[in-house]
Amino acid sequence: MNPPHARVTTVSAYLPDTLLSTPDLEERLAARNPHLRIPRGVIERVTGVRFRHLAPAGMMPSDLAVAAAGDLLDRAGRRPTDPDLIIYAGVGLDAIEPATAHMVAAKLGARCPVFDVRNACNGVLNAIELAEALIVTGRCGTVLIACGELASTAIRWDLASAADFTAAIPSYTVSDSGAALLVEAGTTPGILGHHALAVSSAYQAAIVPLVRTGSGGMRVGRFTVDSLQLAAAIRNLGPAVWEKPLAEHGVGWDDLAAICLHQTSRPALQTFCQYADVPLEKVEITITDHGNLVAATLAAQLAAATTAGRVRSGDLVALIGLASGISGGTLLLRW
C-alpha cells in the first residue's frame, strides 16, 4: 500500500468587523500625547496600511482561533472530535502555561492531542510542514491548525518623544485576526514541497524581549524593529532560495494561481518582490486594508483567494513566510 499524501483541504479566516483607520489611529495618538505633534499621513505613507482590525473587548487569542476553526469545521462538514491533532500556531498566547492549543481544543469541544508551534509569523507555515510529516508517516489522518492574533495589544499608545513615535510605527501596522487550516491524508499530493531557512544571527533585528526587573523578575519588553538589519539579513540569503520548491517541480512563479506572502508593510512587500523576482500581480495583498495579520497572514490570504475564486481546485499556490528570527520559507501546494 502506498503511503498517504497530505493536502490542505479547507482554510478559514476570522477578521473582526471593527476597523481602525490610520487617520483615526493618529487622532487617538494625538489625544493621548498632547505634548507631541503627531504628523498626519506619515504612518500610511511609510507602511501603506489604511486599516487594521480590532477584536471585541474580552477576546483572547484562543477565541480568535476558535472563531476561524469553528467556521472551518462547519464548512468542511467535520465535527470538533474529528481531528487527530490540533496545532496552535499563533504568536499570541492565552497563557505561558499550558499551551494555548488546550484552550482552543476545550472551546471547540475537541478531545485529541494538542500542542503549540511558535516561530513568530512563520508559525502557520511550520505547522503545515509538521502536519504533512505526521500524515505521510501515518501518525495522523486529519490535523487542524489554528492561529489567533490579538496583536492590537502591541500598539504603542503612550509616547515620550518624536523618536518614540518613529520607533513605534511598526506597532501601528498590526491587526487582530484568527485563521485555521485543515490538513488531511489523501491519495494525491497536495503539499508538493517546501524549503525552510534561517539567519538566527539576526534575531535582534525584530524582537519582543523578556527584560529582567530590579526585583529579579521578568517583564515583556517593547517590540522593536531594526529595518535595515532585517532587510540586509534577508538579502544575504539570495533570491534563488525562495523559488527552490518550485524549481524542484519544474514550475515557476508564472505557473501559480496565487502567491501568499507575509506582509509587514507595502514598501517592504514591493522591495521583497523586486529582490526575489516574485511577480507582485500574483500576490494576495492584505497589508493595505487589513494590516499586518502576524502568523494568520498566509492562511487569511489563501482563504481570500479561494473564496474569491482566484484559486480553484487543481491550481498551484505558493506560501512564502518571512518572520522575526529571522526565518523564512516557501511551501508549494496544489489546491
**CATH at residue 179:** 3.40.47.10
Containing domain of residue 175, as a range? 5-186
For residues 80-106, one letter each, b for 16 or more C-beta atoms within 10 angstroms of the residue's C-beta and e for the rest, the string is bebbbbbbbbbbbbbeeeebbbbbbbe
For residues 55 and 179, state if they share a domain. Answer: yes
For residues 16 and 162, state if they share a domain. Answer: yes
Instruction: Tell me the three cell numbers of residue 96.
Output: 505561558
For residues 124 and 237, state if they share a domain. Answer: no
For residues 15 and 103, state if they share a domain. Answer: yes
Which of 186, 201, 225 marks a domain boundary?
Answer: 186
The pLDDT profile of the chain, 335 residues, written as one tens digit per residue, is 577 899 999 999 999 999 999 999 999 999 999 999 999 999 999 999 999 999 999 999 999 999 999 999 999 999 999 999 999 999 999 999 999 999 999 999 999 999 999 999 999 999 999 999 999 999 999 999 999 999 999 999 999 999 999 999 999 999 999 999 999 999 999 999 999 999 999 999 999 888 998 888 888 888 888 888 888 888 877 788 899 999 999 999 999 999 999 999 999 999 999 999 999 999 999 999 999 999 999 999 999 999 999 999 999 999 999 999 999 999 999 99
For residues 140 and 207, state if they share a domain. Answer: no
Which of 164, 186, 208 marks a domain boundary?
Answer: 186
For residues 178 and 306, state if they share a domain. Answer: no
For residues 297 and 195, state if they share a domain. Answer: yes
For residues 118 and 217, state if they share a domain. Answer: no
Q: How many domains does the chain have?
A: 2
Which of 128, 158, 186 marks a domain boundary?
Answer: 186
For residues 154 and 58, state if they share a domain. Answer: yes
Q: Report whether 140 contacts 84 (CB < 8 A).
A: yes
Q: Report whether 175 contacts 25 (CB < 8 A).
A: no
330: closest CA among 319, 314, 316? 319
